[in-house]
Amino acid sequence: CSLRVVEQPNRGQTEALNTGIRVANGEVVLFLDDDLVCDKALVREHAAAHTLGIPQIVFGRMHVAGDSPDVLAAKSMSASLHKYFARLDNDKKPKWPYDAWVGPNCSIPRSVLLELGGYDQTLFPKRYEDVDLGLRLWKRGIPFKYHPSAVTHHVCAKPKHSISSDITYDGEALIRLCKKHPDYRPYAGVAE
């Protein structure tokens, strides 16, 4: 496996993701974050899910890492992830719009990403770009597949002061997302 480091001025996470898509030379792109610890079999599990030759988005399971600080953000994320994946464990067929996202621990053929133009950089950086791309792919008819044996662990160490700013940015970006995808609005919790 070869590793290539690409450096560029900081233009936000969305630009970094799109740059990675453009410069990658493999057939499948696997998205990860710097705060994820990957199971040893993660790459093998994603690769195996793409052997059928059918373009699809494969997403795996995520847990909060056991060595995350014992703070409210980690507890909240752990509860949310447990609820989300418990639903998928009961019914592995992804549901629109709840499973229409392309973020950490997701893999997809690079050609599909290039055809769609990657992540939308007009949404606020690091806010709902994963949902927007998922909605666009779903509307194109690209199937989503839950692959529970592709596992990552998120080290949740978010400082308290960043949580309040996240809420503001999330709200602004969610409104932009709903304007772009009006059919998503009833699921977004945005008031009329």
Model pLDDT, residue 171: 79
Q: Which amino acid is at 39?
A: D
Model pLDDT, residue 98: 94
pLDDT (mean) for 9-25: 92
Model pLDDT, residue 190: 65
Model pLDDT, residue 159: 61
pLDDT (mean) for 151-171: 72
pLDDT of 162 over the 60 cut: no
Model pLDDT, residue 109: 97
Q: How confident is the model at residue 133 (pLDDT cuts 50, 70, 90)?
A: very high
pLDDT (mean) for 100-126: 91
Higher pLDDT, 69 or 78: 78
Q: What are the tokens at 1?
A: 């496996």
Q: Smallest Cα–Cα separation from 33: which of 16, 50, 45?
A: 16
Distance CA(147)–CA(186), nearest Å, equals 28
pLDDT of 192 over the 60 cut: no
Q: Is the dihedral of CA 13, 108, 120, 105 positive or negative?
A: negative
By the 8 A CB rule, do 61 and 150 touch?
yes
Distance CA(168)–CA(136), nearest Å, equals 25
Q: What are the tokens at 36?
A: 């994820």
pLDDT of 31 over the 60 cut: yes
Helix 129-139 / helix 13-23 crossing angle, nearest 10 deg: 50
pLDDT (mean) for 146-161: 85
Distance CA(28)–CA(189), nearest Å, equals 33
pLDDT (mean) for 148-169: 75
Q: In 3-state terms, what secondary structure has residue 49?
A: helix
Model pLDDT, residue 70: 82
Give the pairing of strands 144-154 and 57-64: parallel
Model pLDDT, residue 168: 65
- What is the percentage of the chain residues whose pLDDT exceeds 70? 90
pLDDT (mean) for 165-181: 80
Question: How many secondary structure helices (H) and strands (E) does the chain include?
Answer: 7, 5
Model pLDDT, residue 164: 54
Distance CA(79)–CA(57), nearest Å, equals 25
Model pLDDT, residue 166: 64
